[in-house]
Chain A
Amino acid sequence: MARRAVVVSGVRTPFVKAFGDLVKVDTIGLGVAAVRGVLASAGVGRADVDAIVWGGVILPSAAPNVGREIALDLGLDPRCEAMTVTRACASGLQAVTLAAAGIERGEYDVAVAGGSDSTSNAEIKLPQKVVHALAPLALGKPTASDMLGVAAQLLPISELLPQRPRIAERSTGETMGESAERMARRNEISRQAQDELALRSHQRAAAAIASGRFDNEIVPVTTPDGRTISADGLVRADTSLEKLSKLRPVFAKDGTLTAGNSSPLTDGAAAVLLMEEERARALGLRPLARLRSWSYVGVDPTDQLLMGPALAVPKALERAGLTLDAVDLVDLHEAFAAQVLAVLKMMASDGFARARLGRDRAVGTVDPARLNVHGGSIALGHPFGATGARMVTTMANELARTDKQTAVLGICAAGGLGAAAVLEKVS
């Protein structure tokens, strides 16, 4: 029988606002907390893990292979190999599908996949001009004239100031919010519809927290100053449509996107334990779900940057032999409410299906009752590299806890990328 990869367990750290409680914990530290947590939750020993596949977007330049640093910091068996992948906001899902592929290919039996990002610890980038000018000083033995030469090159001083990091597309220079704002206009997504989706995200996330639904998905993080952070920091149980509607547009003067209906900058990590199914059963572990299919797509970033899921979701469903109507749960990463609503509108359009997918009929409509049932990135936050693994964790648990059979995930990502995966219950 063919090898099958199954999700055995998944956890995440609390997701907290950037420059908040976790400001002193870098992406490696966040990853260590998540991986330690997922091993503990499954009762798997440090010698049992064959590989770590980690996703990240803001990688530390001194140690970009975050996955390996996590393994070393945790004291896993040195034979546990590790890699770090980056696919913008789909990095976490990329890590999970890569690990599943590795298991099914027979590379290893037990892998931890996940991702982390500490926006608080993004490195301030020096302008390339400074880097190049300083090279003679940094490399070799500089003479006095070298120093003078460097000083001369560093004028005018205004070009030397470190640049403020922006989440902007390298190819277009447009920030992601500006792209999403254009998508709202192009797809005629109203401010009210966006605020309603944001409100639902907060209400559902708050309900999940209050009911204890997330208790076994969240592991605490201890900060260097000894504090223990154990609860999500961004979800607002008390928000309302009235409050959301008062917020000012942030990406365009007459725009519709606000801080309330966009996902916030977040610190956090998530990790998923994947095993070859027979191995899991041999260890006495109950598989939560299996990855039935996945798909990654690219679209023109100058057009509608964040529409990727509208193409990736149908493709993943097709590979799984499923229709959107037949799927029990739909989990879409909420980069922006406008982007989620635009993707839903595209999937509901016959015209879109004909022109962009070569199909006669629309992909389908999604009832809010099965969409982002425990909230999404707007309420919970969005540590770039962690979100995919966070979604896999929550959906795998949902399939295991309920009578639902299938879930489809959709994620948009910088560069015009889209990602999707179909999870199914393992009986």
Chain B
Amino acid sequence: MSDFLLQLSKNKAARRVVRSLPLPIPLPEALRRDSGPLGDRPLADRAVAIGFADGAELAALLASTLGAAGADPYLAGEAHVPAFRDAGEAYGRPARPIDALGSRAFDALVLDATGVRDVPGLRALFTFFNGHGQRLARSGHAVVLVRMRRDASADEQAARAAVTAFMKSLAKEIGRKGCTANIVEVEDGADARLGGVLRFLLSGRAAFVTGQPIRVSSLASFAEERVVHGPRLERRVALVTGAARGIGEATVRRLAQEGAHVVCRDRPSDSSATTQLARSIGGTPLHVDQTEADAPAMVADALRSFGGVDVVVLNAGITKDRTLAKMSVEDWDRVLEVNLASAIRLVRALEPLLRTGGRIIGMASIAGIAGNVGQTAYAASKAGFSGLARGLAPALAARGITVNAIAPGFIETRLTAAIPVAVREVARRLSALGQGGIPDDVASLVAFLASGDAQGITGQTVRVCGGSFVGA
């Protein structure tokens, strides 16, 4: 079940041997991940190269964000040096010319392309990443910032679409080195919410997120009091469904690490695993079958005793993979009921209990985006969470509540270990990063979306798929 090629690639000598073989064996890069709670300087001492397309609008924000996060900025060009002066003095991170790093590699590349309004402007992408892409370290992160203007012309929209495809392609090219490439689309008026997104995307907590556009908006109101230090979710109550194992368990542990009190819901048949998990993180087990008619009321009652809930993670799910022709109506009903219908009923019951600045996070799937043979029911049920996020986000925005879906790609769990070996191997290798993710990759994304750093993200589906071959 463990990824043999990945294990092999961690051994220097073996790596050399395999590379020298006249065989097309793609050795994946062992990803550098950051673990533990998101600290106040998640980018401490990381070297970040920063470029600016003409008309770049976010230099000052990049300066303060990166400085406060502990990163060392290296600037391409001199036009924006003054914008970095204050942050340099404040955080002891003076901006230096991009050549000053010498032969060392950059941990991240950031291009502020907010000024790109037409196709000729795209040349800035080529210049920056062609010039410095080779200097990105293994497991490095590339990010492009684009502006979502309300009044964007057709030319500008064409350029914007081009940027996204450029970065997705770059993601596939640099994925072999374990590097990621993502796009951040900043809406007018949402600049202040960019910082938290960058702290995540440029860190090893987003090691398996790549080829992904993320929209930063001011839709969800609520200015969270900035947490300067310590766990981001202290004094918060989180509910995780399907908590007992796999992604659910990793999510429970990560949210607890961030300081949340986690209520772990799973089926009564999994009660011992759920109880053990809840006990080990100081949380509360909740043995309720989500598909029972009175489940929403029972969960709501339990959360009411904590005074409400801040984070709801809808993770419970099953697979009954069959091609449509062979699928029974019972299986179809069961998958849609467990994965989606019961989750929606639960959300409806919890809506009044969600506190200001709350979060709803649904576990979708890459299958729900791309479709998959034998997964008509599963894909349909998972895609439902993307729709739920889009539909519910505007309604809850006034209360500062965000609603998002996460679409994991191939994640190494008990579920995927059961896949036939050939299929499994193909699924692993067909991603930009050439490997499967780990449950903690998904958990890190959940923890990020649950935090105040993600106040600008709502109504979206974020993939954590290593740049899956299929999927948007």
Residue positions of A touching B, CB distance < 8 A: 183, 186-188, 300, 302-304, 307, 342, 345-346, 349-352, 354-356
Contacts and interface: CB of A to CB of B under 8 A. Distances in A.
Interface in B222-242: 229
B83 to A, nearest CB: 11
13 contacts: A183-B92, A186-B93, A186-B94, A300-B229, A303-B41, A303-B70, A342-B92, A346-B89, A349-B86, A349-B89, A351-B86, A351-B89, A355-B67
A187 B68 CA distance: 15
Give the interface size bracket for B toward A: 10 to 19
A300 B87 contact: no
Of listed A187, A302, A342, A351, residue having the most chain B CB within 10 A: A351
B322 interface: no
Q: Is the interface of B mostly helix, strand, loop or mixed?
A: helix
B92 A304 contact: yes
Contacts of B85: 351
A273 to B, nearest CB: 40
B90 A349 contact: yes
Contacts of B64: 355
Interface of B: 40-41, 44, 64, 67-68, 70, 85-94, 229
Contacts of A302: 41, 44
Contacts of A342: 92
A186 B41 CA distance: 15
Contact of A352 (B68, B89, B94): B89
B86 A355 contact: yes
Given A350-B89, A354-B90, 16 more contacts: A188-B94, A300-B41, A302-B41, A303-B41, A303-B44, A303-B92, A307-B92, A346-B89, A349-B89, A349-B90, A350-B86, A355-B67, A355-B68, A355-B87, A355-B91, A356-B90
Contacts of B229: 300
A355 B41 contact: no
A345 B88 CA distance: 11
Nearest to B68: A355
Contacts of B90: 349, 351-352, 354-356
A-B residue pairs, 5 tightest by C-beta: A351-B86, A186-B92, A355-B90, A349-B89, A351-B89
Contacts of A300: 40-41, 229
Contacts of A356: 90
Contacts of A351: 85-90
B387 to A, nearest CB: 42
Contacts of A346: 89
Contacts of A349: 86, 89-90
Given A186-B93, A186-B94, A188-B94, A354 B86 contact: yes
A355 B64 CA distance: 9
B44 to A, nearest CB: 7
A352 B86 CA distance: 7
A320 B153 CA distance: 58
A130 B64 CA distance: 49
Contacts of B88: 351
B441 to A, nearest CB: 25
A307 B93 CA distance: 14
Contacts of A303: 41, 44, 70, 92
Contacts of A354: 86, 90
A350 to B, nearest CB: 7
A356 B86 CA distance: 11
Contacts of A350: 86, 89
A26 B70 CA distance: 42
B344 to A, nearest CB: 44
B144 to A, nearest CB: 26
A363 to B, nearest CB: 12
B388 to A, nearest CB: 40
Contacts of A355: 64, 67-68, 86-87, 90-91
Contacts of A187: 92, 94
A183 B91 CA distance: 11
A346 B87 CA distance: 11
Nearest to A342: B92
A365 to B, nearest CB: 13
Nearest to A353: B90
**Residue with the greatest number of chain A CB neighbours at <10 A, chosen from B64, B68, B87, B92:** B92
